[in-house]
Structures are given as structure tokens and as C-alpha cells.
Amino acid sequence: MLSPNLAVQPAPELWASLVIMESLLRKRIDKHTALATVAQNKVPPPLLQGETDPFGLIVAKSMKSCLIFLCLGSVFLTSVHSAPRKEWTKLILTHHWPQSFCYMENCTTNFTYWTLHGLWPNTGAECNTSWHFNASLIEDLLPEMRTFWPDLLRPKSTTFWKHEWMKHGTCAAKAEPMDSQHKYFSKALELYHKLDLDGVLKKNNIVPSENYYKLTDVEGSIASSYGAPPKIQCISHKKESEFQVLGQIEICFDKQFQLVDCEKSTDELQSRNGEIQPFIFNNHAVYAVCDPLVPVYYPPLGSTLQTTPRFL
């Protein structure tokens, strides 16, 4: 049974549109109510034979216009409230490499393993803005989260987890195994440990180094271990750079938490020619699906990306 907190609400921008619509309707109604009142109280001059009442005609046309406007508004509001929200079908467990992240965000890190970025349903965002994040509800998970799901920019803050819950957790919570804050964060940590991405890469000799890797080698090592291809995202070191920096790896699950293919859209598969729509973090263009034709650099701890990596 779904949590009672999961009442479907229109998105904030939709609420704004509804407020504007209501305001316009009220002004229109007030205007024509006043016009009708004037029409009732005003004594028009006598009409000559064959003349029509222009004042009454104006009022009639205005009231007709108002009725049409009200009807259209009613249809709009009904369609908004009756339109079903598209249900998600896939969960994306997203890892990021701290060294690459801090290269872009000018932070420092001592993490030598892949950390969690988030657990994201493939559709929907901010599904219940009234279901606020409460760190006290996951207090027993915080030590583990600081280790494996850290905020690399604000290590002592819970802002990052709040963002993940409000944007993604409230949508994931439509499924019973994640229908509370504690369940959502616990499930993400459970899947993270189950995958052991670091172990899989090391087993296939994909380790941080001053060498290039072929994207097919990185992708193939993960796909062969999990039985499902990942989505691998990179950072462009510089425009027209001869290599790309390994940044983020997404592993996908279905609603039963079985591994599935992380499909790539047509746009994501396009060559890095300005057409790719990158993942945005902190207002910076950071990650885009790696270009299969460009060598991949997996930077070790302390790398400044000032030196040119070598090809294996």
C-alpha cells in the first residue's frame, strides 16, 4: 500500500499557471459584473425607428466572451487535474568518481573509490513537494552515507541528500520497498554494495592511472560482470581535447531490482559536436555520455590533469 504522503500534486510551475488563470478569471468576472450593473441602472436615450441598442449589444457580447473564457478555463483545469502522471519503469543507480568531480568543482577529495550520486527513477521529479526531508529519520544511516554517499562539496551538510530525496526519492517512493525516506536511502546503499563497482573494475584491470583506456574496454568489463550494459559519462577535458575524463557510471534496475540495460537515447549517442545534452551540476556542464571514439582517462587521486595520459 502506498504511503498517504504520496498525494499527486501539480508541479510548481503548473500551480503558478493556475494562480494566473484564476486571477484573470476573477478580473474578467468583476469587470463584466460592473458593466452589467451600469447597464441596468443607466437610462438610455430613446431609440429611433430601426435603431438597435449599442450599449446593450456591447454588454451582451462582453458577457458572451466572458462565458467562453470561463468554459475554456474550466476545460483546462479539468484536464490538468485528470492527466495521469507517467509512472517510472526503471531505477538508475548513479556512481561518480570523486577525483573527476572535484576536478570540475574545484574541491579536494581523499576518496579512492566510486561514491554514490543517487538512485533515480527514469521519469518524474519532485513528485511530492510537501514530503520534506528529515535527517532525523535516517540518523542510523548517516555514518554509512557519509562514507559511501558523501557530499563532496559540503561534507558536514545534509543538503545533498535533501536534494536527492526531494527530486528523486519522492518519485521512487511510489514503490512499496522505497515508500519512506529510510527505505529509499537504505535501498540505494544496498544496491551500491551489491554492485561493488570498484571491485568489478579492478577485477578487469580498469584502475585509476596515467594511462588511457578504450571506452569499449570499460563498458565491456561492467556489462560482462552484471549481464547488462551501463551508461558511462565523461567530462571533456578541453575543447578539441585528445582524451575525455571518466566521470560517472549509471547502472540500471527494473521495478523488481533486477539489472537491466541502461538505454542511451539518440541524442546521447551523437558524437561530441555540441549536440549532446550534458548532465548539469552546480550550474556547470559536467557529464555527457562518453564518445566511443575518444580515449578515456581514469584519473588517480591527486591528478591535476595537467599531464597528458599515455595509451595502454
Q: Which residues are catalytic, by number?
A: 117, 164, 168
From CA 165, how far away is CA 183, in angstroms rounded? 11
From CA 184, how far away is CA 145, in angstroms rounded? 12
Alpha helix (H) ranges present in the chain?
12-41, 54-82, 98-105, 142-148, 159-164, 170-172, 181-195, 197-203, 215-226, 266-269
Q: Which residue has the cell 503558478?
A: 16
Q: How is residue 102 annotated by DSSP?
A: H
3-state DSSP assignment of residue 242: coil
Please choose, from the candidates 304, 306, 308, the residue with its C-alpha nearest in 3D space to the C-alpha of residue 99.
304
